[in-house]
Homo-oligomer: A and B are copies of this chain.
Amino acid sequence: MTPVKNPPMMTATRSSKSRAAFKARPIQKSSISDDIVQQIMKQISSGNLKPGERLPSERDLCKSFNTGRSSLREALRCLSIMGVLTARVGEGTSVSTDGSKFLETVMQWRFITEKYDIRNLMETRISLEGLAAASSAERATEDEIAALEILIERMEGFVDDAKRYGALDLEFHLGIARASQNQVIYDLVSLIRGQLVRALAEVLVVPDARPRSTEEHKGIISSIRKRNPEAARKAMQAHLEAAITRYEDAHVSS
């Protein structure tokens, strides 16, 4: 894990005098908290610790790991900030039941540290959501389809409210991702959507954008209801392409 030592860095170009090349492997000294984090994660992955299960108290864990409370707490805190553990005063620490919170948190950070190019994001999104739509056409339940249709109706009531409309739009796209019955797609779509959230807000304020968007949504859900994967994919991709165009137009004019 987290490297503690610098790479070898053979200082060959040192001076005139040549030295015997001394081979050595850098000592790996991982910190205590790193170790604890690893151990706990391993216990979780091995099923030894199940979601919702409670860990021993911090003071007990100190004895088990034979370590000070600070080191232990650094590990626990790290895991709980990342959403793997949930700690409550007076109640103890337990494994989080909602694992998705983890990805969510982390992606929020990813978006902070690294800015992706919007075109790259949209390009990837077109591919992923196309797949989501196609998969939904194959595997969405009747209930899911019905819910999406209702969602569209609700959106029509908010064509004049960019903010509300945007929220429902997000719900629509995530709904399709979920209806694909593919957790990977859902995670990735929501991930990318998180990165795009600022840019998309600009798109939907474009005049005329929302009515068009609604029509395109109807086309998508219609293809899904007809269980036509390729049509659904194409409809979704066309929808997103159109969104890009709207975005770029707005960007140029501003």
Contact = CB atoms under 8 A, between A and B. Distances in A.
Contacts of A103: 110
B112 A102 contact: no
B2 A117 contact: no
Contacts of A121: 184
A160 to B, nearest CB: 28
Nearest to A123: B182
A93 to B, nearest CB: 12
A131 interface: yes
Nearest to A91: B6
A176 B123 CA distance: 16
A105 interface: yes
Given A78-B74, A182-B120, A41 B109 contact: yes
Interface in A35-72: 37, 41-42, 44-45, 70
B112 A135 contact: no
A167 interface: no
B102 A84 contact: no
Determine chain A's interface SS by DSSP, over half rule: helix
Given A1-B105, A2-B80, A78-B77, A185 B112 contact: no
Contacts of A232: none
**Interface size, A (range):** 35 or more
Contact of A185 (B6, B81, B109, B120): B120
B70 A84 contact: no
Nearest to A134: B127
A141 B93 CA distance: 52
A84 B109 contact: yes
A166 interface: no
B188 A81 contact: no
A206 interface: no
Contact of A73 (B1, B74, B99, B192): B74
Given A70-B70, A102-B109, 10 more contacts: A33-B77, A42-B112, A74-B74, A75-B77, A78-B78, A78-B82, A82-B109, A99-B114, A121-B184, A127-B127
